């Protein structure tokens, strides 16, 4: 590994993807030299903010800066991840770092992509509880500890888009293949003991594209900043669909 310990980094050559739709220019990479304080391991987002102090026109999204809001999904030295929880020491190579927008989605400006396609796919899976169980605002729908544990690894998705935009199947068919994030969400409700719409959900997924364009490439798993496993969830859906067809 060429990863360099933070204490050795002094000046970082940061290369940022720039694009302004109102200027008649092609996108280009702009270099910045950033002085990095040596006593602590900065995150990629910290470095972007230092660059923005040099050039306030650099645009990127950020909010919680602690890896839970999902704003700052970025392509960092070629791999998708969240800027705010990716330490420089993990990704900077020979004091160089290159940051591009998430691949596969239209770029609005600089590091900001248009998430519409991603969100539309999410909405398609009816990402909400559908139940014919007795719903009463005076008590909870019962669920055992074991039933609830089935949601672990599913409900924690932060919709950052790192997985779907790392997925070649999503790149080719972003309108027809739902992508790992939306499918993880679909399985989150299928797996919920309180949800009674499994049949309806599976029926909606039963075509050649929605689920079956997943070829188990597993880029989604390798980039998920929350350590989730969409491929596994998709596998579960596939199994259910196959069983249903028999």
Partner 1 sequence: MAMNGKGTFLDASTLPVKEFDGIIVGGGGSGMMASLQLAKSGMNTAVVSKVFPTRSHTVSAQGGITCSIQSADPDDDWRWHMYDTVKGSDFIGDQDSIEYMCKEGPEAIFELENMGLPFSRTEEGKIYQRAFGGQSKDYGKGGQAERTCAAADRTGHALLHTLFQANVKAGTNFLSEWFAVDLVKNQNDQVVGVIAFEIESGEPYFLKSKATVLATGGAGRIYQTTSNALINTGDGTGMALRAGFPVQDMEMWQFHPTGIHGHGTLVTEGCRGEGGYLVNKDGERFMERYAPNYKDLASRDVVARSMFTEILEGRGCGPDADHVYLKLDHLGPEIVHKRLPGVTELSKRFAHVDPAEHPIPVVPTCHYAMGGIPTNVHGQVISQNPDGTDKIIDGLYAAGEAACVSVHGGNRLGGNSLLDLIVFGRSAGLHIEESFKAGIKMDDPSSDDIDYALRNLNRVNVSQSGENFVEVKKDLQKTMQMNFGVFRTEELMENGIKEVSDLRDKSQNIHLADKSSQFNTARVEALELLNLIEVAEATAISANERKESRGAHSREDFPDRDDENWLKHSIYFSDTKQVSKRDVNFRPKQVQAFQPIVRTY
End-to-end CA distance of the chain: 48
Q: Is 135 in the site for partner 1 (CB under 8 A)?
A: yes
Q: Is 40 in the site for partner 1 (CB under 8 A)?
A: yes
Here's the x/- map for partner 1, 90-129, by CB under 8 A: it reads as ------------------xxx-x--x---x---x--xxxx
**Residue among 40 and 215 whose Cβ is closer to partner 1:** 40
Q: Is 194 in the site for partner 1 (CB under 8 A)?
A: yes
Sign of CA dihedral 203, 235, 186, 179: negative
Q: What whole-number distance in Å separates Cα of residue 128 and Cα of residue 232?
A: 21
CA 32 to chain centre: 26
- By CB under 8 A, how many residues form the interface with partner 1? 59
Here's the x/- map for partner 1, 4-23, by CB under 8 A: it reads as ----------------xxx-
Of residues 12, 18, 47, 60, which one binds partner 1 by CB under 8 A? 60
* Paired tokens of 237: 């859906």
* Paired tokens of 193: 């003991």
- Residues sharing a CB contact under 8 Å with residue 244, sequence separation 6 or more, in sequence order: 202, 206
Q: What whole-number distance in Å separates Cα of residue 141 and Cα of residue 195?
A: 10
**Residue among 2 and 136 whose Cβ is closer to partner 1:** 136
**Residue among 76 and 213 whose Cβ is closer to partner 1:** 76
CB 156 within 8 A of CB 228: yes
Q: Which residues of 198-223 are buried (b: 16+ CB within 10 A; e: fewer)?
A: eeebbebbeeeebbbbbeeebbbbeb
**Residue among 61 and 232 whose Cβ is closer to partner 1:** 61
Give me the residues that bind partner 1 (CB under 8 A), please.
20-22, 40-41, 53, 56-57, 59-71, 85, 87, 108-110, 112, 115, 119, 123, 126-129, 131, 135-145, 147-148, 151-152, 155-159, 189, 192, 194-195
């Amino acid at each position: 590994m060429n990863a360099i310990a933070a204490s050795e980094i002094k000046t970082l050559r940061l290369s940022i993807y720039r694009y302004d739709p109102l200027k008649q220019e092609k996108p280009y990479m702009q270099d910045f030299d950033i002085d990095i304080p040596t006593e602590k391991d900065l995150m990629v987002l910290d470095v972007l903010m230092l660059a923005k102090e040099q050039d306030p026109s650099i645009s990127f999204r950020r909010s919680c800066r602690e890896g839970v809001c999902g704003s700052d999904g970025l392509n960092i030295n070629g791999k998708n991840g969240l800027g705010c929880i990716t330490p420089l020491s993990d990704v900077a190579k020979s004091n160089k770092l290159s940051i591009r927008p998430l691949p596969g989605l239209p770029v609005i400006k600089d590091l900001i992509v248009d998430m519409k396609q991603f969100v539309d796919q999410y909405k398609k899976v009816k990402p909400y509880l559908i139940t014919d169980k007795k719903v009463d605002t005076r008590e909870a729908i019962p669920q055992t500890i074991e039933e609830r544990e089935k949601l672990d690894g599913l409900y924690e998705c932060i919709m950052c888009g790192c997985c779907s935009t790392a997925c070649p199947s999503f790149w080719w068919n972003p309108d027809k293949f739902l992508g790992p994030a939306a499918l993880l969400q679909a399985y989150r409700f299928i797996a919920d003991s309180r949800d009674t719409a499994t049949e309806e959900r599976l029926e909606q997924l039963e075509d050649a594209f929605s689920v079956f364009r997943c070829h188990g490439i597993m880029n989604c798993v390798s980039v998920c900043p929350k350590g989730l496993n969409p491929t596994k969830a998709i596998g579960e859906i596939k199994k259910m669909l196959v069983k249903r067809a028999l």
